[in-house]
Amino acid sequence: MSHERKPVPLAVALQYDGDSAPRVTAKGRDSLAEQILQIARQHGIPVQENQPLASLLANIELGDEIPESLYLAVAQVISFAYYLSGKAPESDTL
């Protein structure tokens, strides 16, 4: 029985600066998707597998902000990334 990883069909990278909506910074299929994941791992960037969300994000032009309809789904991904990196998002205190 082989334990080879099946190829990743699609990967999308997001950038979030905390001030504006996240932006799509990279996207690709097949070997390009694998390269995106490899670079993310090399730089310690958390990776979450969510092919339905990746499919929606892949329709956004590079450099564009995500649409408001995807804010909740992407917020969950960002929250997951913060959790994995041991960070907490900054919040305004009253």
Q: Averaged over 21-30, what is the pLDDT?
A: 96
List the chain domain ranges. Answer: 10-85
Indicate yes or no: pTM above 0.85: no
Q: Averaged over 9-25, what is the pLDDT?
A: 93
DSSP 65: B
Chosen CATH of 10-85 out of 3.30.70.1170, 3.20.20.20, 3.40.50.11540, 3.40.1690.10: 3.40.1690.10
* H/E element, 55: helix 51-57
Task: Give per-residue pLDDT as tens, 50-74.
Answer: 999 999 999 999 999 999 999 999 9
Counting residues of the chain whose pLDDT is more than 90, the rounded percentage is 62
Confidence band for 85, pLDDT divided at 50, 70 and 90: confident
